[in-house]
Chain A
Amino acid sequence: MSTLRCTPLRDFHAAHGARLVDFAGWEMPVQYHSILEEHKAVRRAAGLFDVSHMGEVAIEGSAALAYLQRLLPNDIARLAPGGVLYSPMCHASGGTVDDLLVYRRGPDEFLLCMNAGNIAKDLAWLREQSAGFAVTLADRSDAYALLALQGPRALEILQPLTRSPLAQLRYYHFCEGTVAGTPCLISRTGYTGEDGFELYHAPDAAPRLAQTLLDAGTPHGMVLAGLGARDSLRLEAGYPLHGHELSDEISPLAAGLGWTVKFDKGIDFIGRAALQAEKLNGSPRRVIFFRTGDRRIVRHDTPVLGATGATVGQVLSGTLSPILNEAIGSALIDSAATNQPLTAEIRGTAIALHRVQPPFIPLKKSP
């Protein structure tokens, strides 16, 4: 365990009964008391997540916008200072290097937030693609701790702790302010499908800020929530997780994220030609979402069978929806088979996979 990296909240988690596991090389809380209860608390009231393992890269310079327009399929020019945009980052093949959030802090100043397991790979890719652009790239991952406060009560929990007028902060926007005396980048974003805030702040302030938020949130029904609940919440919301619904082999088009690929932005972004061809010809395989009406979880890598019993794909993510009380998941399926009745076998029992257009539950918020 000694080779695992820790967030500044490692001892805070342990003191609050967390079960710590290896997640992408980080020692992270998978749960405190119960994944299912933490999940339900986020939908009902609120949950506080430590996601300090996420990576941050600052991109600055006169060509910062031009660079990001070339790098990313989404249209960064539409982003005004104070705005946040979700974008995949693609290979020339159209496959997905990673997916990330882009924060525009000024005309020539951006911050990217990326998946913890991809930081080194992303940085190498960002540097490789920056040749010829007047930009500076700085890995700021160690400069930020990140707490996510998510759930319908998030606003009323957070507002008394800050002078920033949170009701005026629109979804996918951010402001700079202080929370309980700690300078924070306050971002109205999240990965749960609920209203919520993500607070980027200095690591040494994290234990005090987390405790203050816990004390403020507990009377509202807020709980500490781990990565287990984070994963089931995002799947219920139909959000992709890189390495599952998006990967080097799965393009944003195949993943059903066509809205993030802006062919009409007038820039030859990386992956454009391949994605254009994929759009024209149709993706050979597609990500679909399913529910089963059964409590048995259909797990990652389980073969998916088509009408004739032949394998037509694999399960990408599977969990039990604590809200629907049935197994839900996603799978990568040969496009020719997406309209066939699909099944998966669990210990000799065929389980029907009923296609669902995500989200699985009505969302309060979506990007």
Chain B
Amino acid sequence: MSHSDLPPELRYAKTHEWLNLATDGTATIGITKHAQDALGDITFVQLPRVGTVLKTGEVFGVVESVKSASDLYVPVAGTVLAVNEELELAPELVNRAPYDEGWMIRLAVADPAEATALMGAAAYAQSLP
């Protein structure tokens, strides 16, 4: 996959989550186009409660497709500020718009340096098969 398909402003985790760090220290997190494509039709997304405190690499939810259920890993530590409630009734938004309407959680990031240390688009593109 060419990294021109990947939004350049996002950071990426090996486990195929993306993270968008805002200047106020909050970050929006979802899964990449590559991840949703590998999963196929997404039928259910389980997300944490607002206020949940997550450690780096912790499971924050589950994404189910017709064929499988996969854990979602939070790429940086933080506290959940918001979850995308639209996904409850329309999980297919993750397929349709993984970087926009398909976002999953917003986090108060504990240490913004953790976020900037994630891969950029070029490095993530290279990590893909």
Contacts and interface: CB of A to CB of B under 8 A. Distances in A.
Interface of A: 19, 30-31, 34-37, 228, 232, 295-297, 299, 319-320, 347
B21 to A, nearest CB: 29
A157 B91 CA distance: 33
Contacts of A232: 66
Contacts, number: 39
Contacts of A228: 40, 66-67
19 contacts: A31-B41, A34-B40, A34-B41, A34-B95, A36-B43, A36-B66, A37-B41, A232-B66, A295-B43, A295-B64, A296-B46, A297-B43, A297-B69, A319-B66, A320-B44, A320-B66, A347-B46, A347-B62, A347-B69
Given A295-B91, A347-B46, A35 B64 contact: no
Secondary structure type dominating chain A contacts: mixed
B79 to A, nearest CB: 22
Contacts of B69: 297, 299, 347
A203 B114 CA distance: 57
A296 B44 contact: yes
A35 B41 CA distance: 7
B67 to A, nearest CB: 7
A276 to B, nearest CB: 40
Given A232-B66, A295-B91, A319-B66, A36 B41 contact: yes
B45 to A, nearest CB: 9
A323 to B, nearest CB: 13
Given A295-B43, A319-B66, 16 more contacts: A19-B40, A30-B67, A31-B40, A31-B41, A34-B41, A36-B41, A36-B43, A36-B66, A36-B92, A37-B41, A295-B64, A295-B91, A297-B43, A299-B69, A320-B44, A347-B69
Give 5 closest A-B pairs by Cβ, nearest first: A295-B44, A320-B43, A36-B41, A35-B66, A35-B41
A101 B50 CA distance: 54
A296 B64 contact: yes
Nearest to A295: B44
Interface in B80-123: 91-92, 95
A228 B67 CA distance: 8
A192 B62 CA distance: 30
Interface string B12-27: 0000000000000000
Contacts of A297: 43-44, 64, 66, 69
A360 B44 CA distance: 21
A37 B40 CA distance: 11
A19 B43 CA distance: 18
Contacts of A35: 40-41, 66
Contacts of A319: 66
Contacts of A320: 43-44, 66
Interface string B54-74: 000000001010110100000
B58 to A, nearest CB: 15
A131 to B, nearest CB: 43
Nearest to A38: B41
A25 B77 CA distance: 44
From B40, B66, B69, B92, name the one whose CB has the most chain A CB atoms within 10 angstroms: B66
A36 B44 CA distance: 13
B129 to A, nearest CB: 14
A198 B109 CA distance: 57
Contacts of B95: 34
